[in-house]
Amino acid sequence: MKAIPSESNKERVETKMKLTRIEIKSAIVGMVIGDGCLSKHKRTDTNNAYFQMSHCDAQYEYLMWKKGILENVSRCKVWPATHKAPNGKIFKGWHLNSKANPVYTKLYNRFYVYKKKSLDEYLVKMITSLALAIMYMDDGCIGKAMPQYWTKETFYLCLDNFDYANLFLLKKSLKLKFDLDWNINKTSVKYYQLRLLNKHNQKFADIVRPYIELVPSMLYKLGSYASTSEEDVDIVRPV
């Protein structure tokens, strides 16, 4: 069995980020919008929901960083996991399960009204700069929309779990809260993604960078925006 590395990143969360209850809840919202999910045990008396997520081996540091946030709500367990791709290739990674808690149950009742992950006005209003950074580290990427014509990097949120209506609601909220403009691009017959307008690249990077810097292994997601000219960057407080 593969040994679990030390949890030094959990200590980093606790010392560098003193989160309020609202900030913790917002972070969980960001995790569920991203790679995480909420589930319920069918054979329990309380039937409270619990949180779970998986990450590849290279993102272990990031998983443990999120574990440090989640353990403000309930204990979490992490163990090695493997995933078999359609082409037969085996990917090694890590899986996290939290203990069930009423906090997760309340969010479960909002995210899964239609038995499938969806958004509502309350959930998108919960998105803070921390939640946005988590959403981007989970499901974001940077690239060039049309390399043959454009040289600027472009930020994307590839939220395949959500349909056009959900992404439109999210797009409106990100505009109202952060003054960030996104386009909704169709990527296939049934999938969409959010693409940030290039004029807002620097603004977006400045919002999420202070959090991503707490997880050095995820800085690659910022491309050329990973560095800043300022010597010290304070945490951008949630709005």
**Position 117 in a domain:** yes
**Position 216 in a domain:** yes
Partnered with residue 81 across adjacent β-strands are: 93
**Position 192 in a domain:** yes
Instruction: Report the predicted TM-score, pTM, of the whole model to 2 decimal places.
Output: 0.86
Is the pLDDT score of 150 beyond 70? no
The Cα–Cα gap between 185 and 47 comes to 38
3-state DSSP helix/strand/coil % of the chain, to nearest 5: 45, 20, 35
**Position 214 in a domain:** yes
Q: Which domain holds residue 69?
A: 8-224
Encoding tokens for residue 184? 């909704």
Phi (first) and psi of residue 39, to 5 degrees: -140, 165
Residues contacting residue 229 through CB under 8 Å, at least 6 positions apart: none
The Cα–Cα gap between 32 and 121 comes to 15
Mean pLDDT of the chain, nearest integer:
87
Tens digits of per-residue pLDDT, 78-128?
Answer: 999 988 777 878 889 999 999 999 999 999 999 999 889 999 999 999 999
Tens digits of per-residue pLDDT, 190-238?
Answer: 899 999 999 999 999 999 999 999 999 999 999 999 987 444 444 444 3
Q: How many domains does the chain have?
A: 1
Domain with residue 160: its CATH number is 3.10.28.10
pLDDT of residue 147: 55
Tens digits of per-residue pLDDT, 5-28?
Answer: 444 444 444 435 789 999 999 999
Sign of the alpha-carbon dihedral angle for 19, 25, 26, 27: positive
Largest interatomic CA distance in the chain: 59
